[in-house]
Structure 1
Amino acid sequence: MKIPKDRVRFNVGGRIFETTSTTLANAGRNSFFGALFSENWTLKQPNTDSFSNCEFFIDRNPDCFSVLLDLLRTGDLNIPPNVSERHIYREASFYGLLDHVRSAKWGQFDGNRLRHSRSVTGRAPGDGTAIRAGPDGGCCVAHGSVVHVYDWIMEEHPPLNLDYQRVNDVAWVDSENIIISACERLGRGDGGMGLFSKSTGELRYKFQVCHENQVKSFTAGALSTSSDYKIFSSCKGRSNEYGVGVWDQVTGKQIDFLYESPGWSLGDADKLQWLNGSNCLLVATLFPRKDNCYISMLDFRDKRMVWSWSDFGAPITVDEKRVRDAIAMEDSNAICVVNEYEDLGFMDLRMNGGSVRWSSRSRMMKGKLSDEPCYPKLALHGGQLFSSMDDCISVFCGPDWVLTSRLRQGYGGSICDFSIGGDRLFALHSEENVFDVWETPPPPIS
């Protein structure tokens, strides 16, 4: 009897499974099963007419294979009690099905539908510096001189220890590599930045600042990355020279550097943000680092500042509204800022040095005031604006940025930083280094 062309048999660790090419095609071209198909998505059958011999042997865990095969059949993830989530993660990684597992666990990110998933207790003394969501649903957390890295099931990888050099900022290059900025040597050689493997903690290369063929010592600060594989960092030299350096992600080589000059008040920037649409970099030096705030847009192609704003010389009433964070909103041609009262301000990018249009609507539904309030932070994701204040995060939507919901978890105190990525929101609290994980529930089964 001829084998039906749509049927496929697997022997996984001694157990036999049968399925169809239609089910396997749900795994996608880049999966383990994608290799079984031709360019025209036609199943490559073995050269045999014997049904009993027509099978693919895979020396892996059959219990996990059963769960993942059911996921391809139904789109639902049902893990039995005898199978651990860690093993599912390992096997899904082998088969190239991590994205399928993640999408089955939670739905597409929506700030108004987020639900608290878990709280993770910190493992390092001292206040948290920053939390950064990874592209694969995990995160990294900086505490003093240590960066703790977690995968998407919140299992911790070996920590990255900078030998007593305090971490200034962290950023993800991709799902496997993390950049860390710190003071001069990183404890491992000249230069204030290094790229590390998230899995092993290995320092893959360090970034240097070169000027007139000389390597300079520097302190790296705020970080940003671009879609064309560039890394940006604010830099401070030993003689208080300020500037922004640019490096290639692949080679680690410096490809540009822009020094502060008269009229360009870059300072020791607190915030960098690359704008892919306009090929510009937002550079913000915020209160209370300086008595007044500087926000500018730099075009590295022409080596010039194309937009700037400062509250220097503004009316005294503006002192109440000193900027704590800033974020560029390309779709709205605007920059959003926030002050210590969580007033949101908006500046038109089409008007150089224009005034701030302040809104106090965010004061509604305020969170509980903490004994140690943290500076508010901003994030923009999927057309929604997020602002942290004390122990809660407010969500704003629509053309007028109306407050639509609020996220609060009672344990951990004030939120000192938060980050969105991998369809999750991570919020780092000031007390005991606790961070919360927020997820969007999956859509109901129809």
Structure 2
Amino acid sequence: MGTPKDKVKLNVGGKMFETTATTLAGAGRNSFFGAMFDENWNLHSDGEITEHFIDRNPEHFGVLLDLLRTGELDIPPKIDKKLLYREAKYYGILDHVRSAKWGPFDGNRARLAQSITGWSASDREVAQTIRASPSGWCCVTQGSVVRVYDWMLEEHPIIHIEHNKVNDVGWVDSESIVVSSDEKLASGGMGLFNASTGELRYKFQVTDKLRTLAPLVTASTLGFGSDNKLFSSCENADGYPGIGIWDLVTGKLIDFRSLARHHSLRKATRLQWLPDYNCLMALYLYPKVDIALFEFQQNAMCQLLAEDQNKHSSTIRDATVIGESSSICVLGLNECLGFLDFRRTDTSVNWRYKKDSSSGLCFPKLAFHRGELFSSLNDSISVYCGSDWLPTSQLRKSPGGLLCDFSIGGDRLFALHKDENVVDVWETPRPPVI
């Protein structure tokens, strides 16, 4: 591909700008400026300096043009940031703005960037869960509704689930959300929604076309696998618990793995797909603690950890897979982490106590992201790194209430405060361009 140096004149809202094709080419082929060039990034012109008219705000354009020139985003105080971001979306360079504002998320360098507040005083329901999207959006469950916030943290139309409590929610991609609720599946208890508009795209099928599977009744915890598969902890019409599997493209039920022989395994607290092993990890906390692996090619289930077989397993409050080390990290009481290797038959937990304390954790949650472990401990989130998983930093708002959930996605960490209806947004500042 050539490297054009042709000058370009842009008349933006009556104000003239001069730049080069090379600068505009940095916006990318799919940007607004891509249409000005041919497949070799040469201007559509006869060799003369061509003037292009763009009917947009010139002040915002000047800031974005400097971003394309330097890679740095310098927003003057008089410029409304949200209006600038909308202009960036129009020109197709919102990704450039995001990458200029922050870099890959690093818990040891994260800073509290802003908070989502201002929910209506009539909202009596307490927010329960939060999920981050791959593009830096987030959604929050609150009673029978799901609140959706875009990258600019502006709220989109609320997703209403007809007065039924939302059980779980998850992002399929940057534009689609799956919601499960207390409503029976036959009445639409699980559906796929447009994140921007709140529109229901389709309800998930509750039985297969040939009716070889018993109809499913309820759905709760969600998990997402390879090849557009959706998993949910369900019960069938006979009252047996199990894992339902759907095709996310069509919404059709593919399979249901019954747990009728394992009555202790009821509603899963967490479902997490292991792509390198083609299996699903399921964490059960009630009525007792169990961790199981479902292997779908061999139609098998391996019970890795059972409360009545392992010391201290009853203290487990959450678990997450660390695929690169073939292990599962568990979070227990007294601020301790434990690890088990799911490749071994000996599945005892290697507990690593960090603190001798008799106080339990409030709403404990675990997450693994880019070589770092995160655990919510009451009003803060601790970060663990290294081969020994030592605590290296702590994310805590001052003052801050108890955290009930957090989620990492789109190079952001969203922390949801209990009883306050406040979401804190943590980001990693981008190093200055030298």
- Name 2:72's counterpart in structure 1: 76
Cα distance change, pair 161–411 in 1 and its aligned pair in 2 (3 A): farther
Aligned-pair CA distance for 1:131:
0.5
Question: What residue number does 1:335 align with?
Answer: 328
Q: After the TM superposition, which residues 112-131 of structure 1 pair with which residues of structure 2 at under 5 Å, given as runs?
A: 112-121=108-117, 122-123=119-120, 124-131=123-130
| Paired position in structure 1 for 2:281 | 282
Query: Is the counterpart of residue 381 in structure 1 residue 369 in structure 2?
Result: yes
Matched, 1:175 2:174: yes
TM-score, scaled relative to structure 2: 0.91
1:209 aligns with 2:206: yes
Structure 1 stretches of 4+ moved >6 Å: none
Q: Displacement of 1:30 after TM fit?
A: 2.8
The question of whether the paired residues in 1 share the 8 Å contact of 2:407 and 2:413 is answered with: yes
Q: Which amino acid aligns with 1:32?
A: F
Q: CA deviation at 1:109?
A: 0.9
Gaps of 5+ in 2: none
**CA offset at residue 239 of structure 1?**
4.2
Q: Where does residue 426 of structure 2 map in the other structure?
A: 438
Where does 1:338-353 land on structure 2 (aligned, <5 Å)? Answer: 338-352=331-345
Give yes or no for the alignment of 1:108 onto 2:104: yes
Task: Return the letter of the residue paired with 1:254.
Answer: L
Give the % identical residues: 53
After superposition, residues 1-12 of structure 1 pair within 5 angstroms as 6-12=6-12
Residue 5 of structure 1 contacts residue 43 of structure 1 at CA under 8 Å; is this kept in 2? no
Partner of 2:24: 24
Any conservation in 1 of the 2:290–2:303 contact (CA below 8 Å)? no
1:363-419 deviations in Å (ceiling 9; x for gaps): 38x9xx89xx62210000011000111101110001111110111113442111000
CA distance in 2, matches of 1:203, 1:155: 20
- Aligned partner of 1:397 in structure 2 is 385
Q: CA deviation at 1:50?
A: 4.2
Matched, 1:43 2:36: no
Match of 2:351 in 1: 358
* Greater displacement, 326-335 / 17-26: 17-26
- Structure 1 residues 352 and 140, CA gap change in structure 2 (3 angstroms): same
Checking the alignment, whether the CA contact within 8 Å between 2:310 and 2:348 is kept in structure 1 is no
* In structure 2, C-alpha distance between the alignment counterparts of 1:177 and 1:360, rounded to whole Å: 40
Q: What do the CA deviations read for 1:237-280 (whole angstroms, capped 9, x no partner)?
A: 35432111222222222222222142585421110011122221
User: Helix, strand or coil for the counterpart of 2:406?
Assistant: strand
Cα RMSD after superposing both structures: 2.3
Q: 1:37 Cα shift?
A: 3.7
Indicate whether 1:425 and 2:413 are aligned.
yes
> Map of 1:239-254 to 2, 5 A cutoff?
239-254=238-253
Q: Tell me if structure 1 keeps the 8 A contact 2:292–2:305.
A: yes
Residue 185 of structure 1: CA displacement?
4.3
Is 349-358 or 210-219 further displaced after alignment? 210-219
Match 2:395 to one of 367, 387, 407: 407
Q: How far 1:5 sits from its partner (Å)?
A: 5.0
> CA shift at 1:77, angstroms?
1.1
CA distance in 2, matches of 1:285, 1:353: 20
Q: Structure 1 residues 314, 80: CA separation in 2 closer, same or farther (over 3 Å shift)?
A: closer
The letter for the 1-side match of 2:188 is G
Q: Deviations over 1:161-217 (max 9, x none)?
A: 11211011110111111111112348xx72321111111111111112205527835
Query: Residues of 2 paired with 1:208 and 1:241: CA distance?
Result: 18
Q: Distance in 1 between matches of 2:232 and 2:281?
A: 11
* Residues 184-195 of structure 1 mapped to structure 2, 5 A cutoff: 184-185=183-184, 190-195=187-192
Kept in 2, the 8 Å contact 1:193–1:206? The answer is: yes
**Alignment partners' CA distance in 2, 1:254 and 1:351:** 33
Q: Distance in 2 between matches of 1:257 and 1:64?
A: 53
